[in-house]
Structure 1
C-alpha cells in the first residue's frame, strides 16, 4: 500500500517501509498527486539517513533533542545532572535550536559575547562552555574549538581574629528588632563555619543524626565534591551545637541561606566594609584553611579537612604559608 484516503475529510495517508522501519501517517494532502510527492520525499529522506553513520546522524540532530538525549544517557544519574541540562537549555536560548553540526567556533563566540554583555562572569561562562563540550563529545561531534576562558584567581580574603570577633559581637550582642531576631543564630553559624571550614550549605543542611558526640565528629554526606567526609569538632563548635540541641530541632540551624547572607551583609555594612567585595561568608572557609596552615598542618590534611576534590584546589593556599621557602633560602645561605 502506498497512499490512500482515510477519514471524512478524505486526507491521504502514506504507509510504507524502509529497511524494516514502517511509516504510517497522514500526508496532510487532499490530492493523490501531492500525497505521493510527500511520500517520495519522506522515503528519500529515510533512505539517505539510513546510509549515514551514527556520527553523521547525530550531526543533523537538533540541539534540543541532543540535550534531552544527553540528559537521559549521561547526566540523569549525576548529582548535578539537572543543572547541566538547564545550563545547556539556556545556551540553546542564546544560539538557537540548531543542528549540532552548526555549533561552530563562531557560534560559540557569539554565545560568549552575549553572556559577557549581560554581565556573566568568567567562571560561569566556563560552565556553559564545559557543558557544551560535554554535549558535543557525547554525540561524537567536534568539540576542540571550545576553549575555556582563563579565570582570575583573585586574592584569597581571610578574616583577621579581630574581624571575626566584631562580626560575631554585632550579630549576637546588638539589640535587634523582630525582623532581625534570627541574627544571634547567624552569630553561632559564623563561629561554626570558621572552625570547621565547611561550606555554608553543608552546615545549614547538617542534621543532629550526622553528629557523633562520642567520637566528636560531624559528618558531611552531601557536598559540592560529592565526597563525604568527617570533621573533628573544636570545643567551641561542640559547645555551640550542644547548646542549640536544646531547641529540640532535628538540625542545629533553622535559618536559610538568604537569612544567613542578609545577617552577614548587615554586619559588613556596620563594619564599613561595603567596598570589600571579597568580605563574604565564603571567606570563613578560606580563614579556616589559612589558620590550619599557620599552625603547621600540611596541605594534604587541609585538603581532606575541606573536602577538596584534588590537591591542586588546596594549593592555592600554599603561598599564604611560605615558611618552607624561607627555610630553603636559609639552606642556600649556608
Structure 2
C-alpha cells in the first residue's frame, strides 16, 4: 500500500520505506494521481540524500534545524549554551532560514551590516560571528570566511585609593531612604570585589559553604571560564564576610546585579564621573590585578588569581608597570 485514502476528507497518505527508513504521512492531495507524484518526489529525495556523505547532508540542512542540533549536541551542557543558542536564533532572523551551504561570505557581511545599523557594538558582533563559526564547524561546513572584527582594547580603568574610598563612603555613610536601604550592602560588596578581583556574578553567587575559614580561601566553582579556583582572603574581606554571616544566611550578599549596578551608578553620579564610561564595577577587577602587579606579584600568579583563560588576557596589564623598562635599560648602560 503506497498511497491510500484516510479520514473524512479523503486525503491521500503515503506509506513506504527507503533504505530502512519508513515514511508514513499525508501527501496533502485529494486525488491518487497527485498523491503518487508527491510520493515519487519524496522517494527520489530520500534516495538522493541516502547517497550523500554526512557533510553533504549537513550542507542541505536548514539553519533553524542546525541551531537546534548544535544546541542538543554541543551547547546544552555548557554554562553559556543557552546564550549561544539565542545568538544563533537572532542571526537566523537576520539571514533567514537558509541551508548551511548558503551561509557564504556575502551572507555574513549582510548580517554584520544589519547589526551595525542597529547600533550593536563590535564586541557583541564578534559574539554573533563566533557563534556562527562554531555552528558551521560543528556540522563540518566551511567557516574560514567568517572573520572576527578588530575590537578596541580601550584603556584599563583602575580606581585610585581615593576613588575607592569615596564610592564606599557614599554608599555606606549616607543617610539613605528606604528605596536605597541596600546601598550599605553594596559598599561591602565593592570592598570584597576590589580585594578579590572576582567578577560581580561570582561574589553575588558565593555561598558560605564555599568559604574555608581555616585555610582562609574562597572557592569559586562556577565562573565564565568554567575553571574553578580558590582565592585567599585579605583581612578586610575576611572581616566583611564574617560580619555578614548572620543566622541561617546561605550567602554573604542578598542583593542582585541590578541593585548593585544602581548603587554604583548612584555613587558615580555624585562623584561627577558620568562622562567616564570606563568607571564601571568591572574596573574593580582591573584594580585588583593592577595592585597585585604594583606589589611585585608576577603575571602568572595574577592569571591564576583572576582565573583568566590564557596568559594573553593577563598580559593586558603588563604595560601598567613601566618601571620594568626602566630597570631593563640599566642593563644596556653597563
The answer to whether TM tops 0.5 is: yes
Sort the Cα spacing of 1:122 and 1:247 in 2 relative to 1 into closer, same or farther, 3 A: farther
Counterpart Cα distance in 1 of 2:7 and 2:266? 71
1:250 aligned partner = 250
User: For 2:47 and 2:251, how far apart are their aligned partners in 1?
Assistant: 62
Q: In 2, Cα distance between the equivalents of 1:135 and 1:270?
A: 46
Question: Cα 1:247–1:278, aligned 2, differ >3 Å: closer, same or farther?
Answer: farther
SS in 1 for 2:230: strand
Helix, strand or coil at the partner of 2:14: strand
Provide, for residues 221-261 of structure 1, a one-character-per-residue CA deviation record: whole Å limited to 9, x for no partner.
11111111111111111111111113541111111111110
Worse-matched range after superposition: 321-330 or 13-22:
13-22
- What SS class does the counterpart of residue 41 from structure 1 fall into? helix
1:242 alignment partner, SS class: helix
Hey, what's the Cα distance between the residues in 2 that align with 1:190 and 1:121? 28
- SS of 1:246's partner is coil
Paired with 1:172 and 1:115, the residues of 2 have a C-alpha distance of: 41
254-263 or 78-87: bigger deviation: 78-87
2-structure distance, mates of 1:260, 1:6:
62
Residue 210 (1) aligns with residue 210 (2): yes
**CA 1:177/1:44 → structure 2, altered by over 3 Å: closer, same or farther?**
same
Bigger mean CA deviation after superposition, 115-124 or 283-292: 115-124
CA deviation vs aligned residue, 1:49-76 (integer Å, no higher than 9, x gap): 1222211111111001001111111111
Question: Could you tell me how far 1:324 is from its partner in structure 2?
Answer: 2.1
Distance 1:187 1:247 in 2: 21
**Which moved further from structure 2: 297-306 or 32-41?**
32-41
Greater mean deviation of Cα atoms: 11-20 or 34-43: 11-20
Deviation, 1:280, is 0.4
What is the distance in 2 between the residues matched to 1:316 and 1:26? 61
Q: Which runs of 5+ in 2 are unaligned?
A: none
**Partner Cα distance (2:160, 2:253) in 1:** 25
Q: Deviations over 1:61-96 (max 9, x none)?
A: 100100111111111122211111111111101111
**Is 1:62 equivalent to 2:90 in the alignment?**
no
Tell me by how many angstroms 1:142 deviates.
0.9
Q: Could you tell me the TM-score, scaled by structure 1's length?
A: 0.97
Moved more, 75-84 or 221-230: 75-84
Aligned-pair CA distance for 1:5: 2.5
CA distance in 2, matches of 1:7, 1:171: 72
Using a 3 Å threshold, how does the CA distance of structure 1 residues 247 and 193 change in structure 2: closer, same or farther?
Answer: farther
Deviations 1:239-291 (A, max 9, x none): 11111113541111111111110010000000000000000000011011100
Deviation at 1:4, TM superposition (A): 2.5
SS at match of 1:293: helix
Q: Under a length normalisation based on structure 2, what TM-score does the superposition of the two structures give?
A: 0.97
CA distance in 2, matches of 1:278, 1:327: 31
Q: Give the distance between the partners of 2:177 and 2:5, measured in 1 at CA.
A: 77
What is the match of residue 235 of structure 2? Answer: 235
2:9 matches 1:9: yes
Secondary structure of the residue that 1:245 maps to in structure 2? coil
Structure 1 partner of 2:83: 83
Aligned-residue Cα RMSD (Å) equals 1.2
Q: Deviations over 1:136-187 (max 9, x none)?
A: 1111111111000111110000000100111111111111111111111111
- Deviating more after overlay: 37-46 vs 20-29: 20-29
Ranges in structure 1 where 5+ consecutive residues have no aligned partner: none
For 1:164, the equivalent position in structure 2 comes to 164
Please give the alpha-carbon distance, in whole angstroms, between the structure 2 residues aligned to 1:5 and 1:227. Answer: 60
1:9-50 Cα deviation digits (max 9, x unpaired): 322222222222222222222222111111111121112212
Between 249-258 and 10-19, the greater mean CA deviation after superposition: 10-19
CA distance in 2: counterparts of 1:148 and 1:16, whole angstroms = 47
Distance 1:7 1:273 in 2: 72
Q: Distance in 2 between matches of 1:68 and 1:129?
A: 17
